[in-house]
Amino acid sequence: METLGTLEERRAAITEIRSAVAALCTSYDEDYWRRLDGEKGYPTAFVTEMTEAGFLTALIPESYGGSGLGLLEACAILEEISRRGAHAGACHAQMYVMGCVLRHGSEDQKQTYLPRIASGELRLQSFGVTEPTTGTDTTSLKTTARRDGEVYRINGQKVWISRVEHSDLMVLLARTTPREDCAKKTEGLSAFIVDLRDAIGKGLSVQPIDAMINHHACELFFEDLEVPAANLLGEEGKGFRVILDGMNAERILIASECIGDARYFLDKATDYAREREVFGRPIGANQGVQFPLARCYAEMEAASLMVERAALLFDEKQPCGAEANMAKMLAAEASWKMGDTAMQTHGGFAFSREYNIERKFRETRLYQIAPISTNLILSYLAEHVLGLPRSF
């Protein structure tokens, strides 16, 4: 990673980044996102412009055609997207999935993919890990990859895999050694770069999932899909580390989106509370409206500080597992609570699609569950930070 400068210099640069992202988002107003939500469409124009502006390639080093920024700057980008009413989930994977290639790919893989991702020629928006019967129990996944000469043959099933139909590449996790033959449950898993342009219809079937949020999630079915052996990402059997290394970045980035959602809800609710009059006075004059908003604001700002701390630790290459998990949990709870308060502030109008609150309310609810549930975070903190016995 290039030298990022002092924290003061970075914060000054982030102010400019936020302004630039906000300016770009003005061309994609809430009518745009509401229409796409209704059509279950993908924001191709928005993602293309964000890529061309260098925002989605922020974490790719300059030597590979990217901006060479840190996670702190990337967080500011996603936060601002969400604050402006846009849907950052449509493009966030371009940042954290790319990290798997950057940290674990061979030099040939980096030269092959990263410059083309940075230019927008290729889109890497999909992460194939979750399965129907294992969920977040990643070490128990059942999708297999069997070496056959110069290819691996993939068989199995994945579920809740987002943006497969709108991505050129996917990072896939599969088991190359049976679990019973491994000394540790985290061994025997391997990561692969799958070229979806060659895979769909040639061993990979894609079934879109009709869901309450427009995340373009799909169920995947693999039947002897051939993946070149050269597409193995990292070492065979060491794929769990490839995925694990990306999880902290993913959780911190998702947390920043949640902070953006919370700021969006706060802006909407406070504007409405000032303007809406009932019984001859603004509803914002009532403490019953003021106090919930004020409390949510305090919780949002506290969560934002944890996101910044986690991002700084990540950029300094310091251990940040606990901070990443806490940032994601606190930010997700802050956004959900702020969303609920915004709904309450708007009253019946909150249910009208015209006001846009209900769309963002649905979108931010996801982060209580994904990419990791609140209960799993609490379990992690209890066991790995507080030293309590492992729960059952």
Domain limits, the chain: 7-119, 124-240, 246-385
Task: Grade residue 127 by pLDDT with cuts at 50, 70 and 90.
Answer: very high
Identify the residue with better confidence: 3 or 11. 11
Helix (H, G, I), strand (E, B) or coil at 319: coil
What is 246-385's CATH number?
A: 1.20.140.10
pLDDT, one tens digit per residue, over 178-187 is 999 999 999 9
The two tokens of residue 176 are 């190359």
Q: Is the dihedral of CA 328, 370, 300, 246 positive or negative?
A: positive
- The owner of tokens 């959780």 is 251
For residues 2-31, average pLDDT:
93
For residue 249, the model assigns a pLDDT of 93
More confident residue, 118 or 137: 118
**Across 302-324, average pLDDT:** 97
3-class secondary structure per residue, 359-389? HHHHHHHHHHCCCCCHHHHHHHHHHHHCCCC
CATH fold label, 7-119: Butyryl-Coa Dehydrogenase, subunit A; domain 1 (1.10.540)
Under the banding of pLDDT at 50, 70 and 90, the label for residue 391 is: confident
Q: Where in the sequence numbering do the catalytic residues fall?
A: 250
Q: What is the mean pLDDT of residues 301-305?
A: 98
pLDDT(356) > 50:
yes
Question: Per-residue pLDDT averaged across 16-41, rounded?
Answer: 96
- The CATH code belonging to domain 124-240 is 2.40.110.10
pLDDT at 1: 45
Q: What is the pLDDT of residues 86-107, one digit of tens each?
A: 999 888 888 889 999 999 999 9
Q: With pLDDT > 90 as the criterion, what percentage of the chain qualifies?
A: 91
Question: Per residue in 246-280, pLDDT tens?
Answer: 889 999 999 999 999 999 999 999 999 999 999 99
Please state the rounded mean pLDDT for residues 300-311. 98
Work out the average pLDDT over 226-236.
97
Indicate the helix (H) or strand (E) that contains 154: strand 151-162
Nearest to 367 by CA among 292, 272, 277, 256: 256
Which residues share a beta bridge with 208?
A: 218
Is the per-residue pLDDT at 359 higher than 50?
yes
Tell me how crowded residue 198 is: count the other CB atoms within 10 A of its CB.
Answer: 15
pLDDT of residue 135: 78
User: What is the chain's mean pLDDT, rounded?
Assistant: 95
Helix (H, G, I), strand (E, B) or coil at 224: strand
Tell me the pLDDT band of 4, cut-offs 50, 70 and 90. Answer: confident
pLDDT > 70? residue 2? no
Is the confidence at residue 46, as pLDDT, over 70? yes
The pLDDT value given to residue 91: 87
pLDDT at 151 over 70: yes
Q: Tell me, what's the pLDDT at 36? A: 96
